[in-house]
Amino acid sequence: MFNVPPAVLATVAVLVLVHALRMLVLTEAEDVRFLLTFAFIPARYDVDLVAGGSFPGGFGADLWTFFTYAFLHADLLHIGLNVAWLLPFGTALARRFGAWRYTAFMLVVAAAGAFAHLITHRGAMVPMIGASAAISGAMAAALRFVFQQGAPLGLWRADGNAEAYRMPASSLAATLRNPRFLIFLGVWIGLNALFGFGSIPIGEGAGQEVAWQAHIGGFVAGLLLFNAFDPVAPQPRFDPRRSR
């Protein structure tokens, strides 16, 4: 924990504080309204359902719930699982991106996860909450560089922790061909399948489901948008014609 970047620790603190507010301060009725205002609800975007003003927050909530749902969690187990995934991959990303790029990236991939959930659950009334989609995006982005030579999970790690996180990233095509990436991806998809299709229950409340479509949306966005946020210059390709 002493080596976790402040931006990641701040993320964990916000997740815990929001949950503590809901559990210790808000009444049950207030918490329901809080969820309706800040959770992501696909039915909010159904013209027929919102004609009568079904959801609080108005147009502002139509925008901010693409991001704020990621700060809400069902219970301590839900937070604990997300934090367990956030610490390694969020740390790698924050050390490479810096605090501001890390924060912006996490918000963007959270929105991508919400959009994926929206198009696969059109009209659904059940609120979606949790940081899993954003963390999936962070994981995908981290896998673009952690397996490189000299990087944190590379075969030959560079001396000095800072340099290990600044190695040039592999291209998207090279990442998709990397056996270690493919193995990791297979394990991750398998876990999503186990939780998402009910083989392994999660959370205390009855009827809770894993929004695996949102996870995939965040993951794909993380892979594709990594270069747009990466401050490390790509490694120049060798051109044999220049050596003549």
206 burial (CB, 10 Å; 0-12 / 13-18 / 19+) is: exposed
In a domain, 87, yes or no: yes
Q: How far apart are CA 84 and CA 81, in angstroms?
A: 5
Residue 38 identity (one-letter amino acid): F
Is the residue at 224 inside a domain?
yes
pLDDT score at 158: 46
The CATH number covering residue 201 comes to 1.20.1540.10
Lowest mean pLDDT among 145-149, 185-189, 213-217: 145-149
What does the angle CA 183 – CA 228 – CA 137 come to, to the nearest 5 degrees?
40
In a domain, 168, yes or no: yes
pLDDT at 205: 42
In a domain, 147, yes or no: yes
- Please answer whether residues 136 and 115 qualify as being in contact, where contact means their C-beta atoms are separated by less than 8 angstroms: no
Number of domains in the chain: 1
| Global pTM value | 0.84
In a domain, 1, yes or no: no
Give yes or no for residue 80 having a pLDDT over 60: yes
| Structure tokens belonging to residue 106 | 């996490």
- Does residue 135 form part of some domain? yes
Mean pLDDT, residues 43-48: 82
Q: Enter the tokens of residue 43.
A: 């039915």
Question: Using the 8-state DSSP alphabet, how is residue 25 labeled?
Answer: I
pLDDT digit string (tens) for 3-20?
899 999 999 999 999 999
Higher pLDDT, 49 or 170: 170
Contact 144, 235 (CB under 8 A): no
How many C-beta neighbours within 10 Å does residue 155 have? 10
The pLDDT assigned to 6 comes to: 94
By residue range, what is the domain housing residue 19? 6-233
The percentage of the chain sitting over the pLDDT mark of 70, rounded to a whole number, equals 78
Q: Which two tokens stand for residue 210?
A: 């894993």
244 within a domain of the structure (yes/no): no
142-145 LR contacts (CB < 8 Å, sep 24+): 142/88, 142/89, 142/92, 142/93, 143/175, 143/181, 143/184, 143/223, 144/169, 144/170, 144/172, 144/175, 144/223, 144/226, 144/230, 145/92, 145/96, 145/169, 145/170, 145/232
- 137-161 pLDDT tens trace: 999 999 988 876 655 554 344 444 5
Residue 194 within a domain: yes
